[in-house]
């Protein structure tokens, strides 16, 4: 028995344990996928597929414009080819469906390897390591983002953040260099990662302040070089300055910070902690002023200048981009619970001695915890950052489980043992808190879950396969439906949910929420040939609340003007398809 336990303790620390967990998770997900379907999950997944298709069909590597949206100009996109590359490679090797099924699972492997590296560095017990490798499904935001067919860019961003955390708590210059490269890839994929990359820089600065460990120049230098290289190679020269991508102003600021941080150790009196802190603060102030000067209006939130109709009927209802006070109760509690797990797990681990890092530098556990807390705080402002926060919270949940679950299992009386076991699992992970709060979502609804909106949703679901049988033409459809229509047919669409293209987006929304005659003018302006609407879609139900006599209500009810002809062969259930009569 002792020999078997010894081998188990050894195995859980090896890469083989990671591979075993990864393979088991992947096989289970692939086994249940036929029940869920082999199509992209949402509009962004469909658009990612379209982007890869366009590239493989010959569209330029640097050109990610979606030309079938608002033709002939197309929709300008801020998306990065970095996310397209693994999809394109696997699509060429195994086919499109296999690529969409495998790529999210492929991203899971470096996440598990990073978790292993973090737990080894923090010297977790074997039991805590075992929990850390298997409890990912108990974090509500994670399984769906690493599920087959979920091919948007949120999983790659979160994985790069976790890898950065694993590198942050190492002490070598090479770890700082690789961390800078991963951080560069992160912000090239999405500028939304920039605040947490700034936190990484601050934590490297903390090391210098408290311990004179000069890794900050290596991190910032590789960040500056890699961000410029990745931006140039994957985007090409930036012809039009958009505020939603990494700009030359960002890169120059990174480079200036790297140079200043490399000079600081040679300044006088660097043996004194207050002087080191003053030097770092001065560097930060100089870089902030430089960034504000170079970036100008792009130093602010690019979503701040959306047209009012887009703020009201589009961005204001995209839950993943909203702060905690605009989330359903269950989601808000899940986000808060995740932060609490990080904070309580760190406090318990420090008190019980479960963290046993070596070295005189600022405790690596503190560096990791501060980064995780920053991600958790960020998720309270932008919900989708909860994917990063929940990945970073896994080690803390594993520590808490390793402490409390054995105590619960040691209780001799059956009923108390069962209750204690459920409490140990439920309180140390956010899944059960979110599930128990679910009934409160209806009692305290956010705008998109208001009773009048829910009441307007028709039963069933809409599949747009029938549109493939119609002659190709320009379709006016709600924003979320557009990408799937493009993926399943040869049609073009007026607009989809991509913020650089505000005019056609606002025109489509105004047509749907406004009077029928306004919609007719918009259809004539774009020369649309079809109008398509899904009465079961949440966004359509929202549009219908704007006005009882608006175009969306007319389309769903079938009380359409004479200049529209219902195509019965293509319309099914809540899906209504109309041809425009000239």
DSSP string, 237-250: S-SS--TTS--HHH
69 within domain boundaries: no
Residues 243-253: pLDDT tens digits?
888 999 999 99
Structure tokens at 130: 């075992």
**DSSP codes joined into one string, 99-167:** HHHHHHHHHHHHHHHHHHHHHHHTT--HHHHHHHHH-GGGSTHHHHHTSTT--SSHHHHHHHHHHHHHH
SS3 of the chain: helix, strand, coil, percent, to 5: 70, 5, 30
Mean pLDDT of 189-205: 95
57 within domain boundaries: no
Q: Which residues contact 209 (CB under 8 A, 6 or more apart)?
A: 273, 276, 277, 280
Residue 502's nearest CA partner among 140, 327, 176, 242 is 242
Domain boundary (400, 415, 438) is at: 400
22 shares its domain with 110: yes
Helix (H, G, I), strand (E, B) or coil at 75: strand
Widest Cα–Cα separation across the chain: 83
472 shares its domain with 392: no
Residues 324-344: pLDDT tens digits?
998 999 999 999 999 999 999
User: How far, in Å, CA of 64 to CA of 494, rounded?
Assistant: 17
In which domain, by residue range, is 493 found? 455-580
142 within domain boundaries: yes
Residues 259-274: pLDDT tens digits?
999 999 999 998 888 9
473 shares its domain with 388: no
Looking at the DSSP bridge assignments, the partners of residue 576 are 533
pLDDT of 354 strictly over 60: no
> Residue 21 has what pLDDT?
96
210 shares its domain with 101: yes
Residues 488-541: pLDDT tens digits?
999 999 999 998 899 999 999 999 999 999 999 999 999 999 999 999 898 898
Neighbouring C-beta atoms of residue 347, cutoff 10 Å: 12
| Terminal-to-terminal C-alpha distance of the chain | 82
Mean pLDDT of 166-186: 95
276 shares its domain with 135: yes
pLDDT of 301 strictly over 80: no
349 shares its domain with 466: no
349 shares its domain with 285: yes
> Residue 352 has what pLDDT?
59
Structure tokens at 285: 């102030």
pLDDT of 355 strictly over 60: no
508 shares its domain with 368: no
DSSP state of 572: B
408 within domain boundaries: no
More confident residue, 559 or 527: 527
CA angle 73, 78, 81 (to 5 degrees): 105
Q: Determine contact, residues 387/141, Cβ cutoff 8 Å.
A: yes
Residue 347's nearest CA partner among 372, 326, 366, 328 is 366
Helix (H, G, I), strand (E, B) or coil at 493: strand
Helix (H, G, I), strand (E, B) or coil at 294: helix
pLDDT of 64 strictly over 90: yes
Domain boundary (380, 400, 420) is at: 400
pLDDT tier, 351 (very low <50, low <70, confident <90, very high otherwise):
low
Tell me phi and psi for residue 169, to 5 degrees.
-90, 15
199 within domain boundaries: yes
> Residue 137 has what pLDDT?
94
> Residue 46 has what pLDDT?
96
72 within domain boundaries: no
pLDDT of 454 strictly over 80: no
> Residue 547 has what pLDDT?
86
pLDDT tier, 448 (very low <50, low <70, confident <90, very high otherwise):
low
User: How far, in Å, CA of 364 to CA of 545, rounded?
Assistant: 52
Total domain count for the chain? 2
366 shares its domain with 476: no
**Prediction pTM value:** 0.92
56 within domain boundaries: no
> Residue 447 has what pLDDT?
67
Q: Any idea which residue has 């293509």 for tokens?
A: 570
448 within domain boundaries: no
Q: Determine contact, residues 574/458, Cβ cutoff 8 Å.
A: yes
Query: What does pLDDT average to over the chain?
Result: 90
Residues 362-387: pLDDT tens digits?
578 889 999 999 999 999 999 999 99
Distance of CA 20 to CAs 26, 44, 112, Å? 10, 31, 11
Q: Determine contact, residues 376/390, Cβ cutoff 8 Å.
A: no
> Residue 1 has what pLDDT?
43
381 shares its domain with 476: no
Q: How many residues can be counted in the chain?
A: 582
Residues 376-433: pLDDT tens digits?
999 999 999 999 999 999 999 999 999 999 988 888 888 988 998 898 898 899 999 8
pLDDT of 2 strictly over 50: no
> Residue 360 has what pLDDT?
37
> Residue 241 has what pLDDT?
67
Mean pLDDT of 150-160: 95
25 shares its domain with 173: yes
User: How far, in Å, CA of 389 to CA of 404, rounded?
Assistant: 22
Domain boundary (366, 384, 400) is at: 400
């Amino acid at each position: 028995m002792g020999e078997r336990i010894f081998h188990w303790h050894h195995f859980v620390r090896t890469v083989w344990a990671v591979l075993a967990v990864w393979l088991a998770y992947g096989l289970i997900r692939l086994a249940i996928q036929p029940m869920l379907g082999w199509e992209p999950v949402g509009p962004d997944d469909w658009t990612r597929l379209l982007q890869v298709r366009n590239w493989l069909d010959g569209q330029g590597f640097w050109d990610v414009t979606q030309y079938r949206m608002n033709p002939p100009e197309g929709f300008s996109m801020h998306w990065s080819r970095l996310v397209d590359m693994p999809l394109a490679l696997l699509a060429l090797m195994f086919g499109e469906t296999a690529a969409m099924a495998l790529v999210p699972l492929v991203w899971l492997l470096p996440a598990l390897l990073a978790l292993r590296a973090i737990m080894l560095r923090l010297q977790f017990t074997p039991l805590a390591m075992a929990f850390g490798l298997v409890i990912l499904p108990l974090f509500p935001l994670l399984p769906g983002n690493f599920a087959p067919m979920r091919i948007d860019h949120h999983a790659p961003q979160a994985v790069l953040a976790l890898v950065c955390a694993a590198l942050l708590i190492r002490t070598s210059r090479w770890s700082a260099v690789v961390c800078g490269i991963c951080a560069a890839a992160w912000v090239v994929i999405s500028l939304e990662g920039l605040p947490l990359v700034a936190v990484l820089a601050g934590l490297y600065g903390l090391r210098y302040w408290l311990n004179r460990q000069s890794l900050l120049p290596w991190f910032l230098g590789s960040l500056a070089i890699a961000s410029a290289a990745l931006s140039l190679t994957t985007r090409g020269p930036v012809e039009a300055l958009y505020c939603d991508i990494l700009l030359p102003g960002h890169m120059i600021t990174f480079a200036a910070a790297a140079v200043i941080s490399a000079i600081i150790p040679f300044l006088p009196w660097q043996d004194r902690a207050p002087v080191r802190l003053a030097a770092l603060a001065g560097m930060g102030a100089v870089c902030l002023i430089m960034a504000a000067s170079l970036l100008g209006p792009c130093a602010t939130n690019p979503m701040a200048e959306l047209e009012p109709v887009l703020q009201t009927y589009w961005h204001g209802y995209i839950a993943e981009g909203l702060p905690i006070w605009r989330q359903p109760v269950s989601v808000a509690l899940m986000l808060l619970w995740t932060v609490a797990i990080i904070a309580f797990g760190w406090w318990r681990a420090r008190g019980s001695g479960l963290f046993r890092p070596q070295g005189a530098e600022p405790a690596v556990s503190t560096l990791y915890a501060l980064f995780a807390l920053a991600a958790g705080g960020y998720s309270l402002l932008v919900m989708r950052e909860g994917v990063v926060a929940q990945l970073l919270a896994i080690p803390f949940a594993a520590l808490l489980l390793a402490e409390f679950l054995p105590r619960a299992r040691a209780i001799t009386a059956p009923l108390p043992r069962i209750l204690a076991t459920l409490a140990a699992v439920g309180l140390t992970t956010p899944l059960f808190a979110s599930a128990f709060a679910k009934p409160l979502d209806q009692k305290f609804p956010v705008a998109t879950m208001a009773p009048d909106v829910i009441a307007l949703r028709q039963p069933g679901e809409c599949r747009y396969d029938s549109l493939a049988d119609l002659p190709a033409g320009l379709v006016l459809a709600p924003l979320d439906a557009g990408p799937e229509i493009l993926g399943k047919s040869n049609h073009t669409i007026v607009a989809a949910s991509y913020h650089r293209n505000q005019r056609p987006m606002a025109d489509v929304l105004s047509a749907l929420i406004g009077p029928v005659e306004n919609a007719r003018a918009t259809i004539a302006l774009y020369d649309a040939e079809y109008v398509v609407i899904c009465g079961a879609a949440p966004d359509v139900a929202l549009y219908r609340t704007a006005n009882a006599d608006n175009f969306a209500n007319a389309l769903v009810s079938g009380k359409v003007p004479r200049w529209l002809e219902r195509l019965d062969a293509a319309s099914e259930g809540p899906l209504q398809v109309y041809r425009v009569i000239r």
